Structure 1
Amino acid sequence: MRKSIEEINERIRRGEATVLTAEEVRDLVEQGAVSELQDVDVVTTATRAVMSGTYAVLSFGLAEKGSFARSVSARINGVLAHVGPCPNERLGHIDLIVFGTAHRDERYGGGHLFRDLVARRSVCVDVETSDGRCISRELTLDEIPHARIFGTRNAFMNYSAFVNTGGVAMSTIFHAIPFPVSMSGASFSGCGILNPLENDPLLETIGVGTRVLINGAEGFVIGTGTRSTPERPNLSGFADMHQMMPEFMGGFVTSAGPECITSWAVPVPVLSQSVFNAVSRPERAIPLPVMDVGTRSSLWAADYAQVWRDVDLAVRVRPDSCKDCTNCIAEISCPMGAIKRPVRIDRGLCFNCGLCSVLCPEVFRARLGSVRSPDGIHVPVTLRQSDRLRAIRLAEILKERILDGSFRISACVKRLSP
């Protein structure tokens, strides 16, 4: 028996729908309280992760009409912005595209800039004109009428864990410090059972036009992203920056430079038995491929239960154990700049990556799990590039909005084909 979007929306309107987060539905399945298609109407899913394929499109007035013919280059807070494609000749207006992975220096990039804008912090725009002049202006997001975040490759159904099998530490986007050698540590991405496409692997409900939350703002899926495959689909989409929430975005500093954090929340209407089967799968049934970070070759398949079950989603701090080192390795290495003195964690910035608990376990404590091979190899996780704690919060926010009627489930206008 199949259900329809219209039937589910009517049940929501009448206050009769069962809307659960992806974690809640798994708990209820384990308890035997949910066992069939009719037991649940919508599952809210979410992910918060380092997502390189993110950029912003900004359009705003820079100066008076006629003050310059065209802009040829621009930077915002020192981050390179690409001018165009519309020349806006002599209108005093500019259109800019900023990549999430562009950076001013090794600690500040596009992801940091996007969060600063959404937090309504003032930023400095420097533009070179076609006649060689420089025009500068300080502004906030409220002075940028058109500001959208686009994802070109976001929310993969299945990410990977990485290890370094070699004997030389490697600078890479997959770790915040040079990657530990000889498989002494692993990094991974993906929120397991919360990942949107893990709950709709056949793309029965998620398609072009599906209404979603991106960084907390209502947006839409516009297709599959680059490098999407039937085995590992991903999404592209957009949303308005003015409605975004800074806690779900930001910059993440890796040993190869700054990266961009992006969050998605996607409703999955449980329309068919195949969707119900997907939203019911336990975490141990979701594969987590393990790859060599140097060769990008596959080593074995772990599963997400190994890294998300019986672990700590947040790091605990023991200030009394701090020796107040002159050069605090945890503070220096934190990819979010979230560790402050006297020793504490700025929870508004913290990504819950767990690196501090590896570098200074006397002060920072967290169980991070490990990736384990079928023949008994155990590699401890030393960095998480997904923040499950905030993904849970975003899934709960989406659930609340669906139930209070402020977010309406939408049918896709076209099925996706990876």
Structure 2
Amino acid sequence: MQRTVEEICSKISRKEAVVMTAHEICQLVREGKDIKMEDVDVVTTATRAIMSGTYAVMSFPIEAPRQFTRATKIFMNGVPAFTGPCPNERLGILDLMVFGTSHSGLRPDYGAGHLFRDMVQQKEVEVSVITDENDTFTAGITLNDMPFARLFGTRHCFKNYSAFVNCSPKTVNSIFHAIGFCPDLTGASVSGCGEINPVKNDPLLETIGIGTRFLMNGSEGFVIGSGTRSSAAKPNLAGFADMHGMDPQLMGGFITSAGPECIVSWAIPIPVTSQAVLDAIKTTDTGISLPVMDVDRRKLIGQADYGNVWQGVDLEVTFKPSACVQCPTCAAEEKCPMDAISLNNARPVLDRYLCFNCGLCSTLCPGGVFTARLGSIRTDLNCYDEERYMEVPIVLRQSDRKRALKMAEELKNRLIAGSFSMGQMAERIK
């Protein structure tokens, strides 16, 4: 049985389409239900994670003390921006690009991800400019003052990611952990939203293509092709969206032991056009491969699955401030990669608006103020040229499945209400 996207879009417009989230489908599969193509027309998917391959392109006028030919250096809240390609000679307009992995020279724990979220929250950003004549000036600007501001992904939404462990006897700093990786397989960090991840639900890219409409951080955007480092085994996507319509809760900066990284969220509808697409959708967490890598050597040492990560765990950190034992230094507050934990009169406070549910605090707090079952990597690992079964506790999640589930549900509701138009791709990704 084959169906076209056009046929499915027609059913949506007539309010006859059955729209479900990927999680709902997988729950039915776990209950033993036999899902057929006639049972569902569209499945909504989502992911929220650290995505290094991110950059923003902006163009806006700037108030300057006098006319300048071009800017040679620009900083936004201390984060370096790259000028060009259009010089805008004597127009007082800046065309620039900001890489998602750039760090502020003023604040070590502030990066482009923090900057992008501040912009979407309409906070004033300090723009510092050095001109070709070596004049220096600063000005304040908000996103509302920017006619053009788009966020791009060059390498987003991998079908599946890797778990990382440290086999070496030394601590290793990495973007894959918020603190140094403790030695000798003490803990694992993981990424990827498993069964609800967009490309997992369409791994052959039958329905996701160039021109596919999706939501990036809640703003409508378009897929522009495959991303860098994409392969048949591990495909990923490139896309963009207007920053003006984004939701700050779905983006931000995440502090790692190698510096700040960028959080981005995607939600994509998958039209059920073939049995192959439906079979991919029905694959649950336990059927999705999770390679295990030694972070020190970047070497594959085993294979687990996403059931280790997302089944039988807590998606949200439980917060119980009354359990505080008044440690001289609060490790959870000091190490939180989102700066979501603070102290008020020596009592812990958790900002749920900022919290990523990474779970690190639950591994650092001795009193049980923060608790969460994070699961463990359970598989054969070949760490020192000797393969043996091991169970390594997960100590950090770099994907937020709780909010990703909400995004998939929100996209489902928008499709049903008609406020999101699925549309067709312009061309398949090769």
| Aligned position for 2:401 | 388
What are the superposed Cα offsets for residues 243-274 of structure 1, whole Å, 9 maximum, x if unpaired? 00000000000000000000111111000000
Spell out structure 1 runs of 4+ moving beyond 6 A.
none
| Aligned position for 2:150 | 148
Give the AA of the match of 1:391: A
Give the AA of the match of 1:75: F
- Note if contact 2:65-2:137 (Cα within 8 Å) is conserved in structure 1: no
- Counterpart of 1:108 in 2: which secondary structure? coil
| Aligned position for 1:404 | 417
| Aligned position for 2:49 | 49
Write out aligned runs for 1:130-141 (5 A).
Answer: 130-141=132-143
Write out aligned runs for 1:298-313 (5 A).
Answer: 298-313=300-315
| Aligned position for 1:68 | 68
- Counterpart of 1:198 in 2: which secondary structure? helix
1:363 equivalenced with 2:364 (yes/no):
no
- Note if contact 1:55-1:149 (Cα within 8 Å) is conserved in structure 2: yes
Per mean C-alpha deviation after superposition, the further-off stretch among 388-397 and 24-33 is 24-33
Seq. identity, %: 55
- Note if contact 2:164-2:190 (Cα within 8 Å) is conserved in structure 1: yes
Could you list the runs of 5+ residues in structure 1 that have no partner in the other structure?
Answer: none
| Aligned position for 1:249 | 251
- Note if contact 1:66-1:91 (Cα within 8 Å) is conserved in structure 2: no
Per mean C-alpha deviation after superposition, the further-off stretch among 120-129 and 34-43 is 34-43
| Aligned position for 1:350 | 355
- Note if contact 1:46-1:196 (Cα within 8 Å) is conserved in structure 2: yes
User: In 2, Cα distance between the equivalents of 1:65 and 1:201?
Assistant: 53
User: In 1, Cα distance between the equivalents of 2:122 and 2:131?
Assistant: 27
| Aligned position for 1:189 | 191
1:377 equivalenced with 2:390 (yes/no):
yes
- Note if contact 1:313-1:389 (Cα within 8 Å) is conserved in structure 2: yes
- Counterpart of 2:389 in 1: which secondary structure? coil
What are the superposed Cα offsets for residues 132-190 of structure 1, whole Å, 9 maximum, x if unpaired? 11121101100011000000101111100000000101111000000011001000100
Write out aligned runs for 1:273-312 (5 A).
Answer: 273-312=275-314
| Aligned position for 1:226 | 228
TM-score under structure 1 length normalisation: 0.98
User: In 2, Cα distance between the equivalents of 1:66 and 1:2?
Assistant: 64
Give the AA of the match of 1:269: P
Give the AA of the match of 1:381: I
User: In 1, Cα distance between the equivalents of 2:65 and 2:426?
Assistant: 41
| Aligned position for 1:102 | 102
| Aligned position for 1:22 | 22
User: In 1, Cα distance between the equivalents of 2:16 and 2:423?
Assistant: 18
- Counterpart of 1:376 in 2: which secondary structure? strand
- Note if contact 2:51-2:155 (Cα within 8 Å) is conserved in structure 1: yes
| Aligned position for 1:38 | 38
TM-score under structure 2 length normalisation: 0.95
Give the AA of the match of 2:377: V
User: In 2, Cα distance between the equivalents of 1:165 and 1:210?
Assistant: 41
| Aligned position for 2:269 | 267
Residue 30 of structure 1: how far off its partner (Å): 3.0
Closer/same/farther in 2, CA of residues 7 and 318 from structure 1, 3 Å limit: same
| Aligned position for 2:181 | 179
User: In 1, Cα distance between the equivalents of 2:66 and 2:206?
Assistant: 52
Residue 376 of structure 1: how far off its partner (Å): 2.7
Aligned length: 417
- Note if contact 1:66-1:92 (Cα within 8 Å) is conserved in structure 2: no
Residue 317 of structure 1: how far off its partner (Å): 1.5
- Counterpart of 1:97 in 2: which secondary structure? strand
Closer/same/farther in 2, CA of residues 223 and 65 from structure 1, 3 Å limit: farther
| Aligned position for 1:116 | 118
User: In 2, Cα distance between the equivalents of 1:34 and 1:118?
Assistant: 43
User: In 1, Cα distance between the equivalents of 2:230 and 2:4?
Assistant: 27
User: In 1, Cα distance between the equivalents of 2:86 and 2:92?
Assistant: 12
